[in-house]
Structure 1
Amino acid sequence: MDNQFTEEELEALTWMMRMTAENPWYGFLSYLVVVLLTIVVFNLGFARELPVLKKAIVYVLLVIGSFVMWFLEFAFGAPIIAVLIISGVILGMYRFRLHKHRKEKEQA
């Protein structure tokens, strides 16, 4: 880290701002993580089979919306990544139980 910031200034920053100050790639990588988690949560909870063009439009809008969520985490320290991880786990458990229930229903 180059000495652009004093210790007091670094303490005032959010955790993601501090990481990005140390290495600018961390900001970009965290944005990619937000995009990936947003797509996973969307597919687990809300996705339906769509035509290709509509699916492309939905994913473009997800990428744009992910920037807004990433900015909230970057600038204000909102726990967006943590919430997306928790949402993904809960929706994954729901889908697994739904699949298991449907499989048992078919066998009966």
Structure 2
Amino acid sequence: MGFAYLLALLVSLTGMVVLDRRFGLFFWRAPPAAAVVLAVGVLFFLAWDLIGISAGIFYRGETGFMTGLQITAELPVEEVFFLTFLCYLFMNALQGARMLLERRRPS
């Protein structure tokens, strides 16, 4: 069970890639810009996490669903995959909403 959460995150990330490919939302629209935006978003949230950890606000919860591997103290490896998923989900949703609004706009 130690890899269940990581596996769920990888399946979810795969779903984001499939949606992106099918509708040309983020990486399939502008790959270089998408890579930069995704990297900046993940790095921002990792910095946020590290600040929260150093302030004693964030801590790693104990569960049997996680691998137990940590990048630093209180920062599990799954957090990087979660933040990547979170940023990718937001960018797909944002671009999808833009595309829907463009379709509904009268010509």
TM interval, shorter chain, is: 0.3 to 0.5
Scaled by the length of structure 1, what TM-score is found? 0.42
Greater share of residues in helix: 1
The answer to which structure, 1 or 2, has the higher relative contact order (CA under 8 A, 6+ apart) is 2
Greater share of residues in strand: 2
- Decide which structure has the larger Cα Rg and report it: 1
